[in-house]
Chain A
């Protein structure tokens, strides 16, 4: 039986293997993704990001437990950076999620960012589809708040939680990382520490200046993930946000925009794939040489390449 069918039948190993194939860009993975696509679109996808040391894994773990208590099945994808020097990665998010590891209603997957950020967001998006088709009601995608990668992932998520902690310097970390705009909910974690109130106040001020009238005003929830404080409120905030998305019609808009982007991205890749397969190596070498000699600029060379392709070179 193929992986997609086994996954739809609830086989955890098939789900796990399909994610591996996605990560490896393996042959045949497209066919599997094609089969599961009709079964996606059911889950509430939640991105969770924030600076290192903010307690994201603990928060994700506590949130997953809360969601389980509300009868939801949960998928977790924890993304950590690949070492640029060795290509390896140390993935330790599960340490904080131990008590979930034998709950059959939870599926956790650690992913390394591997190559480029664009690659990361696509592999993650596909892994999310796998867990969606597998039947997870809520999918939590945890990433280190570092900028563009998070913005890409946030686009694919319905709701994004940005985790802040008090006392990490004067500035709100999300501003520094350029991810203030992606937050639908802020979790001010470790809220038992000094400075939590101040962080909340600064966030509120920041949001009042930056939020368009009539748009969703991000909720701020104080949490202490290690002792489960504020976790129910955080889950409530997510539900509230999802309701807002549905009622306001924004969900529909987001999905449409996101789907269009996916289509365009996929089309680009399709096209480049075809281009690559059809092109003669000789044309490529000639054009490269012209650029090296500075007779042709990159854009003109590319136009020439496409022209040759269209004419069936």
Chain B
């Protein structure tokens, strides 16, 4: 008998800020929607995030950042995910990211950005309908 395939999500906080309220609320919402959520904690470098995503074989990476350092960090993360062949992984971000940075952020491989006021229902729905479906 086969179990239903679970979506595995990595929630990580790149950058130095310690504001983890959003990351934790989203992590709980995804868990409540039946997903397995790996929370790797604060102050994660792009290298740490990508290596964790590999080992945990996640389908989705959720990045939460409020410090304003998103452009250089996402850019490095985008490079690393491409180098490591993680193209199938759905990457989304949350936090304060100004509209004018959006085109650049998308270019770096971030598929969606959930800014302040986003509902967790929308986040869950987006992940459910966009997480890759190609394994096991």
Contact = CB atoms under 8 A, between A and B. Distances in A.
Direct contact of A and B (CB under 8 A): yes
Contact of B36 (A12, A17, A107, A112): A112
B121 to A, nearest CB: 15
Interface string A113-149: 0110000000000000000000000000000000000
B38 A110 contact: yes
Contacts of A109: 55-56
Interface in B50-67: 51-52, 54-57
A114 B5 CA distance: 11
Contact of B38 (A16, A21, A94): A94
Interface string A83-103: 100111111101100100110
B2 interface: yes
Contact of B54 (A13, A21, A24, A90): A13
Given A89-B31, A89-B36, A98 B41 contact: yes
Contacts of A88: 30-37
A84 B28 CA distance: 14
B6 interface: yes
Contacts of A86: 31-34
A91 B38 contact: yes
A23 interface: yes
Contacts of A102: 45, 47-48, 51
Contacts of B83: none
B33 to A, nearest CB: 6
A16 B57 contact: yes
B39 A95 contact: yes
Contact of A90 (B37, B55, B135): B37
Contacts of B85: 13
A25 interface: yes
A26 interface: yes
A108 interface: yes
A110 B136 contact: no
A284 to B, nearest CB: 15
Contacts of B91: none
B8 interface: yes
A12 B34 contact: no
Contact of A101 (B27, B31, B36, B51): B51
A228 interface: no
A21 B39 contact: no
A92 B39 contact: yes
A87 B7 CA distance: 11
Interface of A: 12-13, 16-17, 19-21, 23-26, 82-83, 86-92, 94-95, 98, 101-102, 107-110, 112, 114-115
Given A23-B6, A24-B2, A24-B3, 8 more contacts: A21-B135, A83-B31, A87-B6, A94-B52, A98-B41, A109-B55, A110-B56, A112-B36
Closest 9 A/B residue pairs (Cβ): A24-B136, A26-B136, A88-B31, A95-B41, A16-B57, A87-B34, A20-B57, A101-B48, A88-B34
